Chains A and B, each alone.
Chain A
């Protein structure tokens, strides 16, 4: 755990940069975290982020986001290139999804 100031707010984050307390999240914070990942957030991003925050406890997977009706899997990759689930959850201020195998 480390302390980090994002958008003027002092936040506790995990070693890989995920918010510890999801309730501290604001859109401003999201934009700033996204900038660190070289992503400029638009309305579509926020639609996806909304779905992700609402389904944070349901065992999110890329497949589940792809079936959300908000975005398909290809679109999800386009919005958050590389690791869409890892990146979108970080920006959405929720826990890093643990891949259960």
Chain B
């Protein structure tokens, strides 16, 4: 019996377990997936929790519901990968051997990386919304807040779901407007990027939208530390921004297990071939999604597109053939912009987000780099698609490779 081992039962690992179990002979291939948690989180939903749009129950389901019959699931911490021996050690010493390994252990926030962040104000006046605990604590804070300076800051690049902090300030603008205290809330967006986003066209569109909504942008701010006494964030080059409540995207890092295995870069992301998705160092190790260092967004849509490529390449690798499929870095992100509207961006390694329609050229129904009600519905419906279609590895009526059709330069 040959063995495929998947580390991490998040979006990527779960999709791969479903795809591979369907395709591979059960008599020939044993598939095992390992994760430390029993709960699957719908992470795009975290964003809505601080504003009371979703609650905790809306974003959680048991992981076991999504792992197909015929796949062994082990709930355990992982000690480390021993790539030279084709072996993974679990906490407690149990060893799992593999012929092929898929690492899909994701990225996580590490507030301890920034001095003063996980200090006395943590979860009191400083919150993240990348954990369900942070998102729920922030909702409780917002429910009775009287207004003041709300600062949204990104500590380091790259980070998971690069549009989330933008969506956060757009939704905050709506939330405090409806609460009748928008005039008492000063919203500032503080980012290490040179503008609202990375590439020229989307930066312009999103920058204008922020301006329209009276949200101040402070670019080129690289966070050094948080001063809990003065309630200020301070950058390496001496800039200071005062806050009454700070929403933060802490430094993102790959799993500690990657570091223990000696396989990561300085942020524990695994050096990975950006086209084949194979580890740069080990022939029988593949890396899916946020755990890799490929230069595209860390986001569920990327994992979903990359899973198709990885599936093809694993088939090639199993047969001892050259890896045929090439990932293009495709990402597709809905951006909630508040008041029942949304925007949408679609891009890859080579092509920046451009205006147009998606997925059908000239028809849509979604508008790229446009602010429409339909885009918002897309995001709302996506939660259902995620649980019922995407995680189970079923086909969606969109291509994994980005297309120029429907886009305007």
Contact = CB atoms under 8 A, between A and B. Distances in A.
Contacts of A82: 220, 237
**Would you call the interface of chain B mostly helix, strand, loop, or mixed?**
loop
A67 B156 CA distance: 14
Interface string B193-204: 110011000000
Contact of A98 (B198, B220, B237, B297): B198
B198 A63 contact: no
B158 interface: yes
Contact of A100 (B158, B220, B224): B158
Q: How large is the interface on B (under 10, 10 to 19, 20 to 34, 35 or more residues)?
A: 20 to 34
A77 B237 contact: yes
Interface string B169-198: 000000000000000000000001110011
Interface residues of A, number: 18
Given A63-B267, A98-B198, A101-B157, A77 B236 contact: yes
A13 interface: no
Interface string A5-27: 00000000000000000000000
Contacts, number: 45
Interface string A55-93: 000010111100100000110110001110010000000
B236 A101 contact: no
Interface in B233-261: 236-237
A101 B166 CA distance: 13
B156 A63 contact: yes
A99 interface: yes
A61 B157 contact: yes
A83 B237 CA distance: 9
A72 B375 CA distance: 44
Nearest to A68: B266
A50 to B, nearest CB: 19
Contacts of A86: 194
B297 A101 contact: yes
B159 interface: yes
Which of B159, B198, B224, B236 lies at the interface centre, i.e. has the most chain A CB atoms within 10 A of its CB?
B236
A100 B157 contact: yes
Contacts of A63: 156, 266-267
Contacts of B156: 63
B296 interface: yes
B198 to A, nearest CB: 5
Contacts of B224: 73-74
A81 B222 contact: no
Interface in B141-156: 156
Contact of A59 (B162, B222, B237, B293): B293
B193 A101 contact: yes
Given A67-B266, A82-B220, A83-B194, A99 B237 contact: no
B240 to A, nearest CB: 14
A62 B222 contact: yes
Contacts of B236: 62, 73-74, 76-77
B306 to A, nearest CB: 15
B295 interface: yes
Which of A61, A62, A63, A100 lies at the interface centre, i.e. has the most chain B CB atoms within 10 A of its CB?
A100
A36 to B, nearest CB: 18
A11 B339 CA distance: 50
A18 B10 CA distance: 40
Contacts of B194: 83, 86, 99
Interface in B118-159: 156-159
Nearest to B238: A77
A42 to B, nearest CB: 19
Nearest to A86: B194
A67 B265 CA distance: 12
Contacts of A61: 157
Nearest to B237: A77
Nearest to B329: A100
B315 to A, nearest CB: 29
Given A77-B236, A83-B220, A100 B266 contact: no
Contacts of B293: 59
24 contacts: A59-B295, A61-B157, A62-B236, A63-B156, A73-B222, A73-B224, A74-B224, A77-B236, A77-B237, A81-B237, A82-B220, A82-B237, A83-B194, A86-B194, A99-B157, A99-B194, A99-B198, A100-B157, A100-B158, A100-B297, A101-B158, A101-B193, A101-B197, A101-B198
Given A74-B224, A101-B193, 13 more contacts: A63-B156, A63-B267, A64-B266, A73-B236, A76-B236, A77-B236, A98-B198, A99-B157, A99-B192, A99-B193, A100-B295, A100-B296, A100-B297
A-B pairs, 4 with minimum CB distance = A101-B162, A100-B295, A77-B237, A77-B236
